Amino acid sequence: MPEKLKNSEPFIEDPTIQTSKLRKRAFIGQMLVGGILIFLWEFLTRIGWLDSYYWSSPSTIIRTGWTAITQGTLLQDLAYTSGSTILGFILGTAAGYLLGLSFWWSKLYSRIFEPYMIAFNAIPKLALAPVLVIMFGIGFDSKVILAFLMTIIVAAIAAYSGVQNVDQDLEKMLVSLGAKRRHVFMKVVVPTTIPWIVSILKINISLALAGTIVGEFISSRQGIGRMILYAGQVLNIDLVWVGVVVLSLLSIVMYLGTLWLERALMKGRTPKS
Amino acid sequence: MSELKIVNCSKYYKKNGKPMGALENATMNVENGRFVSIIGPSGCGKSTLFNIIAGLIQPSSGEVLLDGKDITRETGNVGYMLQKDLLLPWRSILDNVIIGLEIRGIPKKIARERALPMLQKYGLGGFEYDHPDALSGGMRQRAGLIRTLLYDKDVILLDEPFGALDAQTRMQMQNWLLQIWSDFKKTILFVTHDIDEAIYLSDEIHVFTHRPGKIKATIEVDLPRPRSEKTLMDDRFLTLKRELLLMLREERVSSE
């Protein structure tokens, strides 16, 4: 039953209050669901419905994690993994973006290289990991290169799609105002492609992480991936879980980082639908 | 002072191996400060002619002279505005209208200072820092035209700038354009489909034939200025309208 309004009080809708209410309630709900899941995990492993040998338990994971931080090298491993992921992500995305943009400059050049770009995209780069480790050693470099290779073509294809979407009439308008190619490039092509590159940032950060971890699995002296592999080999399943949880947290933090980057780049614009 | 001369301009394209004419022997003298309209059926080569004058495409033959200087296939000599407003969606209105100055190497700050009073005077005050998607179609066309004006060329080409607007806004924009024209004393070349619009605005109207476009007739519009809604009811206006309607009907019939 809708409330009857008094004549003296006009009904004024305020969508912002409704949205902020919804947001608050959704946040509480999200926390609740997460809390219940963690509680169930703990509870079910304690009463033995879930085998704690395989499933570990939240409390054991926290304890094992703490030991790994204070007595082991968890923090160094975390720095190693996130460092190579972020570096590979930045280099790969930037190089791919520039590569995609370069296709705007010459039709002939873009026609020649487009099929090669698609072919390279089709190669499962992770399958090359053993070769890359042999080529670039078991250190930091091979992980960065894997993350780089995972991200570059995705970025290049996104930028190239953006380039193909540049409004020809905008180009014509600028040329009629006396613009040279470089003006059109800076004032129309680059801004047009920004939403395209922004839309793949989230995909690329997780691809970079996958590349890094596979690199660490193959051969490494440091990193969360190496820690998980080692823990698995000595049947320390609690420590495997610590690695998985830390990687998930890292992934969430990096996801939030790209969200922030997205907002910064898309200031004052509507996102690409 | 500037005089635009279009001498014997033609443009042919190849289609299925056969040359197709888009424009044939267009010759026109546009005197300084005149408002000249071009009217004709769709596909009569009006836009081709504009692209040639703006230097965006090469004519198959003929040349374009500005004050006696050959400007064929040379961009940046005339202002050009298309039917779409072509504002950059990621720039504010102010930053949109200064883009021509930016390209010419004028620092943004100085360009903005020059543009602000123009925006205020010509009906865009209060919208300077809005993005184009916040503006109505008429407002966006205003911004597009101010951008062309700030580029500061004596000759301005307008390719159906009001074609996408509703009738009310259109009328408003026509008066607005006439005011700008008399303030800035530019030479305007105006393409339109609309007979009323052509007569209401122009000193001179060129009627084009169906493809390949040729100039069929040139009509002097000897209506007094300033013009207003009363002009639309003038006998002379109606006579000219009848004349143009008949000519355009002839073109439609001959093309069928």
Digit-coded pLDDT (tens) for A34-81: 999 999 999 999 999 999 999 999 999 999 999 999 998 999 999 999
pLDDT, one tens digit per residue, over A224-268 is 999 999 999 999 999 999 999 999 999 999 999 999 998 988 876
| Cβ–Cβ under 8 Å, residues B51 and B20 | no
Q: Are A251 and A206 in contact (CB under 8 A)?
A: yes
Partner residue facing A177 (CB), from B88, B133, B151 = B151
Residue A124 CB partners (closer than 8 Å, separation 6+): none
A255 in a structural domain: yes
Range with the lowest mean pLDDT among A58-72, A210-224, B111-125, B242-256? Answer: B242-256
DSSP-assigned beta bridge partners for residue B18: B15
Residue A2 lies in a domain: no
Query: In CATH, what number is assigned to the domain containing residue A137?
Result: 1.10.3720.10
Backbone conformation region of residue A53, classed left if phi is above 0, alpha if psi is from -120 to 50, else beta: alpha
The answer to whether position A9 is within a domain reads no
Q: Per-residue pLDDT tens for A157-188?
A: 999 999 999 999 999 889 988 889 999 999 99
pLDDT digits (tens, 9 = 90+) for A140-163: 999 999 999 999 999 999 999 999
Q: Which of A204, A208, A235, A239 is nearest to A224 (CA)?
A: A239
pTM reported for the whole predicted model: 0.84
CB contact under 8 A, B76 and A178: yes
- Give the closest residue to B115 by CA, choosing from B103, B92, B97: B97
What ipTM was predicted for this assembly? 0.85
Model confidence at A272, pLDDT cuts 50, 70, 90, reads low
Look up tokens 């992480």; give the residue: A209
**A149 is a domain residue:** yes
Confidence of residue A273 (pLDDT cuts 50, 70, 90): very low
Mind listing the domains of chain B with CATH numbers?
4-78+155-255 (3.40.50.300), 87-152 (no CATH)
pLDDT the model gives residue A188: 94
Distance, in Å, from the CA atom of B155 to the CA atom of A114, rounded to the nearest integer, reads: 42
- Look up residue B13 and give its amino acid: Y
Say yes or no: A177 contacts chain B, CB-CB below 8 A: yes
| Residue A20, domain member (yes or no) | no
Which of B50, B90, B106 would you mutate first to test chain A, the one with the most A CBs within 10 A? B90
Residue B14: strand, helix, or coil: strand
pLDDT of B157-193, one tens digit each? 999 999 888 888 898 999 999 999 999 889 999 999 8
Percent of chain B with pLDDT over 90: 47
Pairing of strands B79-81, B155-159: parallel
What is the average per-residue pLDDT within A209-220? 94
Closest by CA to A140, choosing from A85, A195, A58, is: A85
Q: Over 70: is that where the pLDDT of A3 sits?
A: no
- pLDDT grade, residue A16 (50/70/90)? confident
Question: Is 80 exceeded by the pLDDT of residue B1?
Answer: no
pLDDT at A4: 58
B68: left (phi over 0), alpha (psi -120 to 50) or beta: left
* Interface probe, candidates B88, B102, B156, chain A, greatest A C-beta count within 10 A: B88
One-letter amino acid identity for B75?
T
Cβ <8 Å between A173 and B90: no
| pLDDT (average), residues B211-237 | 87
Cβ–Cβ of A174/B151 closer than 8 Å?
no
Contact call for residues B23 and B212 (beta carbons, < 8 A): yes
Q: Which burial class, exposed, middle or buried, applies to A111 when counting CB atoms under 10 A from its CB (0-12, 13-18, 19+)?
A: exposed
**C-alpha distances in angstroms, A33 versus A29, A39, A129, A242?**
6, 10, 38, 21
Edge-to-edge order in the sheet of strand B69-70:
B18-30, B4-15, B61-66, B69-70
Q: Does A181 touch chain B (CB under 8 A)?
A: no
In-domain check, residue A23: no
Domain count within chain A:
1
Q: In this structure, are residues B48 and B66 in contact, taking their beta carbons and an 8 Å threshold?
A: no
Is residue A231 situated within a structural domain?
A: yes
Q: Which of B54, B86, B103 sits opposite A179 (nearest CB)?
A: B103
Structural domain for A108, as ranges: 67-265
pLDDT of residue A5: 55
Distance of CA A82 to the CA centre of its chain: 12
| Max intra-chain CA distance, chain A | 81
Q: Under 8 Å CB-to-CB from A169, ≥6 apart: which residues?
A: B82, B84, B86
The two structure tokens encoding residue B26: 């267009």
**Closest B-chain CA to A179:** B103
pLDDT at A7: 64
| Domain assignment of residue A46, yes or no | no
> Could you tell me if B86 lies within 8 Å of chain A, comparing CB atoms?
yes
Instruction: Note the pLDDT of residue B241.
Output: 93
User: Which candidate in A175, A176, A187 is best for mutational testing of the B interface (most B CBs within 10 A)?
Assistant: A176
Instruction: Output the six-digit token pair for B125.
Output: 């005050």
Which residue in A173, A183, A269 is closest to B90 by CB distance?
A269
Three-state DSSP string of A48-106: CCCCHHHHCCHHHHHHHHHHHHHCCCHHHHHHHHHHHHHHHHHHHHHHHHHHHHHCCCC
Say if CB B96 and CB B130 are below 8 A apart. no
The Cα–Cα gap between B82 and B86 comes to: 8
Query: Which helix (H) or strand (E) is B210 found in, with range?
Result: none
Report the distance separating Cα B58 and Cα B9, nearest Å: 10
Judge whether B134 is closer than 8 Å to chain A, CB to CB.
no
pLDDT single digits (tens) A91-140: 999 999 999 999 999 989 999 999 999 999 999 999 999 999 999 999 99
Supply A189's token pair. Answer: 């092509």
Structure tokens that stand for A259 in this block: 């969200």
pLDDT score recorded for residue A268:
67
Contact with chain B for residue A198, Cβ under 8 A: no
Instruction: pLDDT band for B102, please (50, 70, 90 cuts).
Output: very high
* Partner B contacted by A188 (CB < 8 A): yes
Section A5-22 average pLDDT: 78
